[in-house]
Amino acid sequence: MAETGSLLTSLECRACCASVDPSRLVGTCPTCGHALLAQYDLARLDARAWVGSWPARAPSLWRYRELLPVQHSSQIVSLGEGYSPVLPLNDVPAAPGVRVRLKDDGGLPTGSFKARGMSVAVSRARELGVRAVYVPSAGNAGVALSAYGARAGLPVRVYLPERTPAPMKVGCRTYGAQVVEVPGTLREAGAAARAAEAAQRSFDLSTLREPYRVEGKKTMGLEIFEQLRDEEFPSAIVYPTGGGTGLVGMHKAFEELRALGLSERRPRLYAVQPEGCAPVVRALRDGATAVTPWEDPSTIAPGLLVPAPFSSERVLEAVRASGGGGVTVRDREIVDAMAELARRFGVSASPEGAATYAALGSLVRTGAVHTDDTVLLYNTGTGLPFSLPELERLVAGASEGASPEAP
């Protein structure tokens, strides 16, 4: 058995059923190019004893190390990520009578949930002998990789859309990463990154193009189970969806908990996207098995400006299997939600996280969410790098006919 207790057995491709030895350094499926997902020997875990061991463990996502891929604790690259608080939001005006909770990843290292995936992926990459890493990013993933790369002693290159908020660019550089700015959205940044890196020996940490960031994001679901497993367990989780890896990760967590006999409950997952870039919501509505790229994407929420998520089949499958759905919000509503979360509840939410709060009204109106529900909103990042007056100006400009731009 691995020294960490990791029960990792293989990497599986759900598209073509290929199985890959996880001791190999791989990105996507060598047969068909889709995402690979880690599998564990769950039968070897004494599930009740495992749950019983959690309280004595340090409050980070590494408390779930048996269901994470790293084999040697000396390879773990940690900044204390995970185990974020769940806050009650009482008397939300848009959702009268509904129990609303908010899981707040804004306090994680580098200010977002991206720390989860990067801690696990950088640890595993280093364990498998990787010497340099790169990522195309909307901002937060780049900052997180810059920090974890620095801690691991790996050189990092980050490809950012030119319009990425300045604090994110500064953040990457502060951690010593090289920043390459690319015109366009994350799609163009990804294409530029892959073209530029093809001749290098650097490893691609793009979401779902390597198998382990999603394992870090899986801990969002494991934590929700640990923190709320009694009567507070959410019947619905509202999640701001860009690439959708968080949805794939949480779905995987609930599947593994079910396979372990720990929980039959599966919260309905709701994907929230901005009206100006909603390829996942559109595909859910149309009954499609994969997304078609969104034309002319635009939103003030940088992490949701993802017109063509990779391996979207897995994202759609996660939402559908949970019995959930998709919902869009306007940029104007996102900015109002940021202000309301801050002023009514003392919560600093990123535009992405605030989009979940903005979605509550339409989820209630359409009957997707009702008074029997406990709804968990996922705040994926802190709002501190964002200026509300600046976002206000952007959405006001947009409503006068100008085209909205990412800040």
Q: State the residues that interact with ligand PLP by CB under 6 A.
A: 112, 138, 140-141, 207, 240-246, 303, 350, 352, 380-381
Q: How far is the CB of 33 from Zn ion (least distance, A)?
A: 7
What DSSP string runs through 45-114? S-HHHHHHHGGGS-SSGGGGGGGSS---GGG---SS-----EEEE-S-TTSTT-EEEEEEGGGSGGGBTH
User: Using CB distances below 5 to 8 A depending on partner kind, what does residue 383 bind out of Zn ion, ligand PLP, none?
Assistant: none
Residue nearest to ligand PLP (CB): 303
Chosen residue from 1, 3, 16, 178 binding Zn ion by CB under 5 A: 16
307 binds, among Zn ion, ligand PLP, none (CB under 5 to 8 A by kind): none
CB of 20 to Zn ion, least distance (A): 9
One-letter amino acid at 190 equals G
Contacts (CB under 5 A) with Zn ion, residues 114-133: none
**Using rule CB under 5 A, residue 18 touches Zn ion:** yes
The residues in 26-45 that bind Zn ion, with binding defined as CB under 5 A, are 29, 31-32, 34
If the CB atoms of residues 78 and 311 are measured against Zn ion, the closer one turns out to be 311
Q: How many residues does the chain have?
A: 407
Our CB check for ligand PLP shows the closer of 260 and 284 to be: 284
Q: C-alpha dihedral over 135, 40, 22, 17, to 10 degrees? A: -90
Candidates 13, 70, 247, 280: give the one binding Zn ion (CB under 5 A).
Answer: 13
Cβ(249)–Cβ(296) below 8 Å: no
Q: Which does 220 bind (CB under 5 to 8 A by kind): Zn ion, ligand PLP, none?
A: none
Nearer to ligand PLP, 234 or 385 (CB): 385
Pairing of strands 8-13, 36-40: antiparallel
Helix, strand or coil for residue 37? strand
The interface with Zn ion within residues 283-322 (CB under 5 A) comprises: none
71/241 with CB nearer ligand PLP: 241
Instruction: Report, in angstroms and rounded to the nearest whole number, the Rg of the chain calculated over CA atoms.
Output: 20
Is residue 98 part of the contact set for Zn ion (CB under 5 A)? Answer: no
Taking the complex as a whole, the smallest distance from the CB of residue 306 to Zn ion amounts, in Å, to: 22
CB of 123 to ligand PLP, least distance (A): 19
CA dihedral 385, 390, 395, 401 (to 10 degrees): -140
In the numeric block, which tokens belong to residue 25? 């350094």
Do 83 and 112 touch, CB atoms closer than 8 A? no
208 makes contact with Zn ion (CB under 5 A) = no
Residue 245 touches which of ligand PLP, Zn ion, none (Cβ within 5-8 Å per kind): ligand PLP
Decide which of ligand PLP, Zn ion, none touches 352; Cβ closer than 5 to 8 Å per partner kind: ligand PLP
Residue 27 Cβ, how far from Zn ion at the closest point, in Å? 12
Number of residues that bind Zn ion (CB under 5 A): 8
CB of 288 to Zn ion, least distance (A): 20
Contact present, 201 and 131 (Cβ < 8 Å): yes
d(Cα 85, Cα 102) in Å, to the nearest integer? 8
Contact partner, 299, from Zn ion, ligand PLP, none, Cβ < 5-8 Å per class: none
Strands 325-329 and 268-274: parallel
Tokens representing 15 are 């598209």
The Cα 391–Cα 298 span in angstroms is 13
Q: Are strands 268-274 and 374-379 parallel, antiparallel or unpaired?
A: unpaired
123 Cβ contact partners less than 8 Å away, ≥ 6 residues apart: 70, 75, 76, 77, 78, 152
Q: How far is the CB of 68 from ligand PLP (least distance, A)?
A: 18
Least distance from Zn ion to the Cβ atom of residue 99, Å: 41
Candidate list 9, 10, 15, 42; residue touching Zn ion; CB under 5 A? 15
Residue 15 contact among ligand PLP, Zn ion, none, beta carbon within 5 to 8 Å by kind: Zn ion
How many other C-beta atoms lie within 10 A of the C-beta of residue 93? 9
| C-alpha closest to that of 407 among 399, 388, 382 | 388
110 binds, among Zn ion, ligand PLP, none (CB under 5 to 8 A by kind): none
State which residue, 221 or 381, has the beta carbon closest to ligand PLP: 381
Interaction site with Zn ion (CB under 5 A): 13, 15-16, 18, 29, 31-32, 34
